[in-house]
Amino acid sequence: MGENGWADFFVATMGAAAALTGLVIVAISINLKQILRFKQLPGRAAEALCILAGAMSAAGLALIPHQRLSTFGFEIVCVGAAVCFASIYNQIKAYSVLRKLKRMQTSWWLARIPVGFTGLPFLIGGVLMLAGADAGAYWIAAGVLISLVVGVQVTWVLLVEILR
């Protein structure tokens, strides 16, 4: 991927994902007591770390020189599967906790569902790469960018919203 003009994009987004991951870790450490007060928030913090780690992994894998497209596609499918699994698992767990506490708000749940599929562009991009289609790079780029947006949103929750 690095040879196809994508290197600058993946270097930049890998750095952004690493910075956001660090910020999430700082947010967790600063607000640990508040996060632990809400049974669903530790999973949400873990979900953010997994999503950002997925973005860093995808960007890093894209920078490996002279890699076969099929190998890269397989790696990205694995990243996408891991991100989807981690997100959906943590959302199911949060749903279960909130339902038991009778604090389930439909609007909250509906807004959270798309986050569970943050890894989907990685899966699509990886499959396209496995099929030999360079267009998969655009799906992978979308996955990285979506992951960064989700990372910013969760960081905001863990740093600011939790204190309200």
pTM flag (> 0.85): yes
Nearest in space to 17 (alpha carbons), one of 147, 121, 122, 123: 147
pLDDT of 84 reads: 93
pLDDT of 4 reads: 65
pLDDT of 104 reads: 63
Taking every pair of Cα atoms in the chain, the longest distance, rounded to a whole number of angstroms, is 53
pLDDT beyond 70 at 119: yes
